[in-house]
Amino acid sequence: MTLLLADIARAGGLLDAVEEASGQNVFACYQCGKCTAGCPFSLGPQQVVRLLQLGEVEAALAHMTTWDCASCLTCATACPKGVSPTLIHRALRTLHASPAAQNGHGGERTNGAALDAPYRAHARPLRTYLFTNIHRLSRLGSAMAPLSNWALRVPGANLVAHGLLGIHRARSLPAFVRRTFPEWFRDHTPLGDGRRGPVALFHDTFMDFNFPGTGIAVTELFEKAGFRVELADMVCCGRPMISKGLVARASVQAETNVTRLWARAREGVPIVGCEPSCLLTLRDEYPAMVPANLRDKARVVAGQTFLIDEFLAPLAAKGDLDLTFRDSASGGPSVLFHGHCHQKASAAPAKSVELLRLAGYRAHMVDASCCGMAGAYGYEKEHYEASRAAGERALFPILRAHPDAEIAVMGTSCRQQVEHFTGRRTRHVVELLRAAVD
């Protein structure tokens, strides 16, 4: 349930509401400081938690970390006590979001000036509308390509986006493809006999409308390995709404997806995806987001949900992958793999490296935290420099030190960030695996 801070303040129990909304016990924190030390954006999650421990909830709400947090989960991954400052920041923002914003109209709460000041500084209704409706707008963008791509890149468009939407002028949105991935899928001839049964592909927005090569590669990998691919019956996962604090809207997406997917999940059909932030929303967020009558179904869906490397690596370990790679003796091209933050937090990026090595690449994990993009965060003009600085902490220098290595990623935001700031080409893990299949 979404609560308004002022209403709860009147009723008392402000801290309880933050703990309930975040699912966190702030008193589990013993102030070790690891979260703050590791934050790629140089924020102070430890301080926010401390303020809550002191009962100073309004000060926690007013703290810049609450509003500038990129939700990269690095602090949650680092915390030795299992506290997630990420979820605490999100709960604070959500508790303060207006009913209009929750309904997707981008409205803004205007009473309670002291509490509203930080919210006003970050509220950009048009930008929020753009990012939280990215699936719908991308569908339109693809239908209108190449006109839409021209419009995005016409001289001056970036300045309009900067001034009107708050999207940094140096950024550009990924181009739309005219022929979407679902259209390719509908028309393609399967490469295998499907003898090993179905997998449901959770085809994210970027796969559908911007990077169909990822979808084609994973489809062909599955088919060559003997699986029958079906496109999951789904809507946008809701992650864009969650990251903007519009949890009520995201819950509608969660209900729809759980309702549509659970029957296939109950039959044992794996639901597999390539975009960590989207796919892991099903597993990590849905069981707590849906109404009580859907919780069991949400758990069934979560139990059948896998990132592509989580699905393929165990098969490879059992010798049951059934793919022949061209050069399985190591000595192939050098690859640096950068794991996605959500993958690091609740999956296993090492599995991507295992698969790349199996496919003959000399693959290594990049020892770096967030790339700095964190969804749409790095696009926001007020966060652009922080986004660059986060990448420069470790990731970009490592990539520059290896100019001849291929760069493998799992997430679209990592892809956009690396290409923007280093000028290097990136490829999704499945594209490299597909390229190596005999």
Contacts with ligand SF4 by CB under 6 A lie at 29-35, 39, 41, 43, 45-46, 49, 65, 69-75, 78-79, 81, 83, 85-86
HSE-CB at 123 with a 13 A cutoff on CA atoms is 22
User: 257 or 417, CB closer to ligand SF4?
Assistant: 417
Least CB distance from residue 247 to ligand SF4, whole Å? 16
Least CB distance from residue 358 to ligand SF4, whole Å? 32
Least CB distance from residue 36 to ligand SF4, whole Å? 7
**Vertex 355: Cα angle to 350 and 360 (nearest 5):** 125
User: 210 or 413, CB closer to ligand SF4?
Assistant: 413
Residue 196, exposed/middle/buried by CB under 10 A (0-12, 13-18, 19+)? Answer: middle
- For residue 205, give the nearest of 272, 254, 128, 135 by alpha carbon: 135
Q: Which residue has the tokens 């205007």?
A: 110
Provide the sign of the torsion angle of the four alpha carbons 11, 247, 36, 25, taken in this order: positive
User: 56 or 230, CB closer to ligand SF4?
Assistant: 56
Least CB distance from residue 284 to ligand SF4, whole Å? 14
**What is the Cα–Cα distance from 365 to 346, expressed in whole angstroms?**
17
User: 84 or 210, CB closer to ligand SF4?
Assistant: 84
Strands 271-273 and 305-307: parallel
Least CB distance from residue 387 to ligand SF4, whole Å? 11
**What is the Cα–Cα distance from 245 to 96, expressed in whole angstroms?**
9
**What is the Cα–Cα distance from 21 to 1, expressed in whole angstroms?**
8
Q: Order the strands of the 271-273 sheet from edge to edge.
A: 228-231, 198-202, 271-273, 305-307
- For residue 109, give the nearest of 156, 146, 155, 61 by alpha carbon: 61
Least CB distance from residue 87 to ligand SF4, whole Å? 9
Least CB distance from residue 1 to ligand SF4, whole Å? 24
What are the structure tokens assigned to 391, written together?
């990448």
Least CB distance from residue 310 to ligand SF4, whole Å? 22
Under 8 Å between Cβ of 280 and 171: no
**What is the Cα–Cα distance from 230 to 258, expressed in whole angstroms?**
17
Angle subtended by helix axes 295-303 and 247-266, to nearest 10: 70
- For residue 3, give the nearest of 119, 87, 94, 101 by alpha carbon: 94
Least CB distance from residue 375 to ligand SF4, whole Å? 11
What are the structure tokens assigned to 326, written together?
């061209």
Least CB distance from residue 24 to ligand SF4, whole Å? 9
Least CB distance from residue 66 to ligand SF4, whole Å? 9
**What is the Cα–Cα distance from 176 to 206, expressed in whole angstroms?**
9
User: 122 or 135, CB closer to ligand SF4?
Assistant: 122
**What is the Cα–Cα distance from 385 to 377, expressed in whole angstroms?**
11
What are the structure tokens assigned to 138, written together?
């991308």
User: 151 or 389, CB closer to ligand SF4?
Assistant: 389
User: 45 or 332, CB closer to ligand SF4?
Assistant: 45
User: 49 or 308, CB closer to ligand SF4?
Assistant: 49
Contacts of 159 (CB under 8 A, 6+ apart): 169
**What is the Cα–Cα distance from 133 to 97, expressed in whole angstroms?**
17
Q: Which residue has the tokens 């002191």?
A: 54
User: 141 or 372, CB closer to ligand SF4?
Assistant: 372
Task: Look up residue 163 and give its DSSP letter.
Answer: I
User: 74 or 412, CB closer to ligand SF4?
Assistant: 74
User: 70 or 294, CB closer to ligand SF4?
Assistant: 70
